[in-house]
Amino acid sequence: MQEAIAKMLKEGADLRLQMVETMTRDIIDAAQAIAHAFKTGRKILLFGNGGSAADSQHIAAEFMNRFQIERPPLPAIALTTDTSILTSISNDYAFEEVFSKQIKALGKKGDIAIGISTSGNSANVVKALRIAKKLGMVTIALTSEGGKIGSNADIALAVPSKSIPRIQEAHITVGHILCDLTDTLLFRQVGKR
């Protein structure tokens, strides 16, 4: 068991080092877009399925409440939380519509849409990102290598892995980094902590 634990932890650590090389610029771009949206009175809409739904809620809570510093709440909404909306859209239309209909109702030009998918192929996330783009929202995909989601986003945060557990772990790490960088851009002087 110790070997299995060591292997999993090493895989996660090695992946983080790869992410430094492959994702740093895109993470900066995403944080700058998010900070700009908040500065101009816009909001973030986050969505995904399963564990990615939980990540959407987690990241929204970090922005809405606070992350590491005391600061005003920032408008972030997870589109994964209202069971009446989720089930009525799925029942009356299709599960593929579950996020796109909410984007149509809530999204405005200049808002941010963050679609999360470990596979990169969740049809409802792809559709929502496409609709968000048509509305003039800035689209960010938190995904893995390959898949349709990255090509449907303005900024693709693609974790360089095929391992679903390691990708999910990396997604929440990236979410925390985005929160921290956004706080720095909006509320701290750069270079001072």
Can you tell me the distance from the alpha carbon of 60 to that of 66, in angstroms, rounded to the nearest whole number? Answer: 10
The per-residue pLDDT for range 89-147, each reduced to its tens digit, is: 999 999 999 999 999 999 999 999 999 999 999 999 999 999 999 999 999 999 998 88
End-to-end Cα distance, the chain: 40
The per-residue pLDDT for range 32-69, each reduced to its tens digit, is: 999 999 999 999 999 999 999 999 999 999 999 999 99
pLDDT at 30 over 80: yes
Selection from 4, 24, 10 nearest residue 158 by Cα: 24
The per-residue pLDDT for range 156-183, each reduced to its tens digit, is: 999 999 999 999 999 999 999 999 999 9
CATH number of 2-187: 3.40.50.10490
Q: From residue 1, give the alpha-carbon distance in Å to each of 7, 51, 122.
A: 10, 25, 34
Give the angle subtended at the CA of 11 by the CAs of 10 and 12, to the nearest 5°. Answer: 90
Can you tell me the distance from the alpha carbon of 177 to that of 101, in angstroms, rounded to the nearest whole number? Answer: 29
